[in-house]
């Protein structure tokens, strides 16, 4: 293995994204949260990934995982591990995964590393640990992925310990800007997170210069992410107000990021609209009624039937328009079943073949686990990938 990826909160979705872009044969699970890859870190387009929060290159592997031995090894080899001496001050931090240690033990390692580096006149500033892992804000604010920064990660495995260096961290500030600083937002129609929009596009794995269609574009979040990834964006929505919002948000995005890619946004009902040329579909469909408290069974049943009817009409309408080898990635509504601790899904999932579609499966994870859900939310998003049969 050459590189490591720390997965985000929605681990199965993150794994499906990696398989779609790079193939399952290039990855192997190291722990519950970390995947190893035979790909070099330079061969992974990390900025495109929505489901992984850290990319690291492997520096070395140790045949032992006892913390006392790992600590001794780090103290004896910290100069070669950091490549010191460097010009100027080195910003250095440590994070551990899988070790059953206390924060003060990690702080002890940091102090000993600092002492050893200062013995060779390496100016160094240690980033203090409030927990066993530095958070994204600490890594980004202290520029630990820059030329004068370094986060060393220590991962306990079944075979021993992996020592890695973080080369990229998910830019939480950029996501926040694209989510909360857009000029036009409307919480009443739902807010598709930019990370999830990225993932939906990646699950379609479109070719270079492809046109990505979002037939339920809303305020244009998915169209934004398509443009940022270098694709052409094509969006429609039944509400004229949403089209104006999308246009305003895309103009704002193009100005900030100097984007030249084409975008087309138009009013259109996804149940009967005829779209021009496109290569792949990625969208969040109609999610139905929003709930602040859990509904009674009859209200929920009526909502599910309504969503099922609308989305089936959409699937029938777009079927003959979808390119034969093009993928359609949908985020469908699903509802938390608090009694059985699972999700209630749409009936149409059992009718996909009769509707003219094949549902693609993944090797690396179970298809039935592709739910994007936050604790406390009643409505979840179930992700499926379809092609025409």
Within the chain, all domains assigned CATH 3.40.50.150 are found at 175-388
Q: Are 214 and 235 in contact (CB under 8 A)?
A: yes
Closest CA to 315 of 276, 347, 357, 279: 357
pLDDT of residue 190: 62
Domain 175-388 belongs to what topology?
Answer: Rossmann fold (3.40.50)
**Cα 51 to Cα 9: distance, rounded to the nearest angstrom:** 8
Domain 3-170 has CATH 3.40.50.2000: no
Average pLDDT of the chain to the nearest whole number: 96
Tens-place pLDDT, residues 96-124: 999 999 999 999 999 999 999 999 999 99
Q: Are 387 and 325 in contact (CB under 8 A)?
A: yes
pLDDT of residue 191: 81
SS3 270: coil
pLDDT of residue 375: 85
**Cα 110 to Cα 180: distance, rounded to the nearest angstrom:** 37
The ranges of the chain with pLDDT < 70 are: 189-190
Within the chain, all domains assigned CATH 3.30.2130.30 are found at 3-170
**Cα 130 to Cα 138: distance, rounded to the nearest angstrom:** 10
């Amino acid at each position: 293995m050459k590189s490591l990826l720390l997965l985000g909160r929605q681990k199965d979705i993150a794994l499906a994204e990696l398989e779609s872009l790079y193939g399952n044969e290039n990855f192997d699970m190291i722990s519950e949260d970390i995947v190893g890859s035979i790909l070099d870190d330079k061969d992974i387009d990390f900025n495109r990934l929505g489901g992984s929060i850290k990319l690291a290159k492997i520096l070395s592997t140790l045949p032992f995982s006892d913390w006392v031995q790992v600590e001794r090894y780090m103290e004896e080899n910290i100069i070669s591990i950091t490549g010191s001496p460097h010009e100027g001050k080195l910003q250095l931090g440590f994070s551990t995964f899988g070790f059953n240690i206390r924060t003060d033990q990690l702080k002890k390692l940091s102090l000993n590393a600092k002492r050893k580096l200062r013995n060779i006149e390496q100016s160094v500033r240690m980033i203090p640990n409030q927990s066993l892992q530095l958070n994204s804000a600490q890594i980004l604010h202290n520029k630990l992925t820059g030329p004068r920064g370094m986060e060393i990660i220590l991962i306990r495995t079944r075979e021993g310990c992996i020592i890695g260096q973080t080369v990229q961290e998910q830019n939480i500030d950029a996501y926040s800007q694209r989510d909360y600083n857009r000029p036009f937002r409307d919480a009443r129609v739902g807010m598709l997170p930019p990370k999830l929009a990225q993932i939906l596009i990646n699950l379609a794995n479109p070719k270079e210069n492809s046109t990505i269609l979002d037939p339920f574009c809303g305020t244009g979040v998915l169209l934004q992410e398509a443009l940022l990834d270098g694709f052409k964006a094509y969006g429609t929505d039944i509400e004229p107000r949403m089209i104006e919002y999308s246009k305003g948000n895309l103009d704002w995005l193009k100005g900030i990021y100097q984007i030249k890619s084409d975008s087309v946004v138009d009013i259109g009902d996804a149940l009967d609209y005829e779209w021009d040329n496109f290569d792949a579909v990625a969208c969040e469909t109609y999610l139905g009624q929003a709930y602040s408290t859990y509904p009674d069974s009859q209200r929920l049943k009526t909502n599910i039937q309504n969503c099922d009817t609308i989305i089936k009409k959409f699937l029938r309408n777009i079927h003959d328009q979808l390119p034969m080898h093009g993928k359609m990635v949908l985020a469908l509504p699903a509802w938390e079943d608090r009694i059985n601790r699972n999700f209630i899904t749409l009936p149409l999932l059992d009718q996909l073949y009769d509707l003219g579609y094949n549902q693609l499966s993944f090797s690396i994870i179970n298809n039935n686990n592709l739910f994007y859900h936050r604790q406390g939310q009643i409505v979840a998003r179930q992700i499926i990938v379809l092609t025409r049969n």
